[in-house]
């Protein structure tokens, strides 16, 4: 394996929270040459079309629209369903989830999370619904599925749409059913830090042809033909280079997820029975993608805070990340909202103080995983 170099060209020994899994460069060069020769670079090109089809097959869904990143896909998902007013969402996510609401002039209403999954808590939905509520935007955080059946039941009762932020999931299934089949729409990210990457990238999964057409129009300035514009759309098209990488990545993704699983299993083994350290187990009947490996540090039992551990790991050249700290509702941009007030979301407030995501990626050596566990153990 080649050694990584840092920006100044020196060997980079740091172990970071993630590292993109890339196919052999020679294989990508064939695609590059083809794109170069064809001079067709974007706008629903050959590889875009092939990738959409191949991705539908791989993920077991009917309709996918590709995007240049997950954030634009979230923005368009909300536009496509004409969501307005208030939307219930989680404060425990990457800030893009809530930003997408704000950019659409929608008021986010934060709802607490569950203590065992860190996902949006469905038992808190009904109390947060108002006459202005039009939709729910939960996140399958760390790739672990939300309680999709319960959320659907509540949404159906109140006539609400569901858009899942599925930016952490790839190939995740519940009882062999793709998690992407739930909700009116699901939004994916193929950013460099994700399980499946197209450099930057994203997608919306929908379940009927008319919605797919509307999404495709919206991402192409609203054009519904050469001379007709049916909506104030935007430019949110994935280019041919991203699509070609996506096609190639599909060949390797199963192997990559299997390697992530091995890393997760070794962490669980290395960190088990340590007072004050807890982590998520695999959920029954779920096929996971092992996007992140979050660990909670309980200061009373472990004797050190999460931030102590974070700093200690840095001294070992190991860069975990405090995903997701602070809560979105604690950022100055959002903390004025009624639903963001301190004390309203006790679980999220507790988890955000305790969580650290340890490095996980397919090329992470088991030897390194053991060293990370030892660094934590030796610090208690
Ligand atoms: N919804 C959710 C739930 C999300 O998590 C995200 C994105 C979105 C929506 C929006 O999707 P996108 O519009 O991004 O497609 C990263 C990512 O930028 C962001 O995509 C991701 N979530 C978020 C959780 O993490 P940072 O600021 O933590 O990334 P950064 O640059 O610090 O990278 C983290 C580590 O990854 C680095 O220390 C090393 C490694 N890395 C990173 C890059 C960019 C590489 O090895 N190579 C790379 O090219 O936000």
Q: Percent of the chain having pLDDT more than 70?
A: 97
- Render pLDDT for 49-99 as a digit per residue (tens, 0 to 9): 999 999 999 999 999 999 999 999 999 999 999 999 999 999 999 999 999
Give the pLDDT of residue 1: 43
- Tell me what the mean pLDDT of segment 210-220 comes to: 98
In angstroms, the CA 240 to CA 47 distance is 6
- Render pLDDT for 32-47 as a digit per residue (tens, 0 to 9): 999 999 999 999 999 9
Q: State residue 318 phi and psi, 5-degree precision.
A: -115, 125
Strand-pair category, 318-319 with 15-16: parallel
356 lines ligand 1 (CB under 6 A): no
- Render pLDDT for 291-342 as a digit per residue (tens, 0 to 9): 999 999 999 999 999 999 999 999 999 999 999 999 999 999 999 999 999 9
Instruction: Please provide the DSSP assignment of 164-177 as one string.
Output: EE-TT-SS-EETTE
* Element spanning 356, H or E: strand 355-358
Mutate-to-test residue for ligand 1 from 66, 193, 325, highest number of ligand atoms within 8 A of CB: 193
Statement: residue 380 has pLDDT above 80: no
Q: What is the pTM of this model?
A: 0.97
Which is the closest atom of ligand 1 to the Cα of 100?
A: 9
| Lowest mean per-residue pLDDT among 7-16, 35-44, 95-104, 237-246 | 7-16
- Which residue's entry shows tokens 């869904």? 61
94 lines ligand 1 (CB under 6 A): yes
Are 162 and 135 spatial neighbours (Cβ–Cβ below 8 Å)? yes
Q: In the structure encoding, which two tokens stand for residue 279, read together?
A: 């982590």
CA of 94 to the centre of ligand 1 (A): 9
């Amino acid at each position: 394996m080649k050694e990584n170099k840092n920006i100044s060209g020196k060997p980079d020994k740091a172990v970071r929270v993630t590292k993109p899994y890339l196919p052999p460069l020679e294989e990508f060069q064939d695609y590059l040459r083809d794109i170069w020769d064809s001079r067709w670079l974007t706008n629903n090109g050959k590889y875009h079309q092939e990738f959409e089809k191949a991705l539908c097959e791989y993920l077991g869904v009917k309709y996918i629209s590709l995007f240049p990143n997950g954030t634009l896909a979230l923005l368009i998902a909300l536009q496509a369903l004409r969501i307005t007013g208030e939307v219930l969402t989680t404060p425990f996510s990457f800030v893009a989830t809530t930003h997408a609401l704000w950019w659409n002039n929608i008021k986010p209403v934060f709802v607490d999370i569950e203590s065992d999954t860190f996902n949006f808590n469905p038992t808190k939905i009904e109390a947060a619904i108002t006459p202005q509520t039009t939709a729910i935007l939960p996140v399958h955080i760390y790739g672990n599925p939300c309680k999709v059946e319960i959320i659907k039941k509540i949404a159906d009762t109140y006539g609400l749409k569901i858009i899942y932020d599925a930016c952490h999931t790839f190939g995740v299934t519940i009882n062999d059913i793709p998690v992407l089949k739930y909700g009116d729409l699901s939004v994916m990210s193929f950013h460099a830090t994700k399980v499946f990457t197209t450099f930057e990238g994203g997608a919306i999964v929908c379940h009927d042809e008319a919605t797919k057409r509307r999404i495709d129009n919206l991402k192409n300035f609203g054009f519904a033909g050469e001379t007709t514009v049916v909506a104030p759309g935007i430019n949110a098209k994935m280019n041919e280079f991203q699509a070609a990488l996506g096609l190639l990545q599909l060949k390797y993704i199963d192997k990559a997820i299997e390697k992530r699983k091995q890393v997760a299993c070794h962490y669980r083994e290395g960190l088990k029975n340590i007072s004050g350290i807890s982590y998520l187990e695999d959920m029954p009947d779920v096929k996971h993608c092992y996007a992140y490996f979050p660990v909670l540090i309980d200061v009373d039992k472990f004797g050190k805070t999460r931030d102590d551990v974070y700093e200690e790991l840095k001294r070992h050249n190991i860069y975990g990340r405090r995903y997701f700290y602070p809560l979105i509702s604690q950022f100055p941009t959002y903390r004025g909202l009624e639903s963001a007030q301190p004390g309203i979301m006790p679980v999220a407030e507790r988890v955000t103080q305790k969580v650290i995501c340890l490095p996980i990626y397919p090329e992470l050596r088991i030897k390194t995983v053991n060293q990370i566990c030892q660094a934590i153990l030796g610090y208690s």
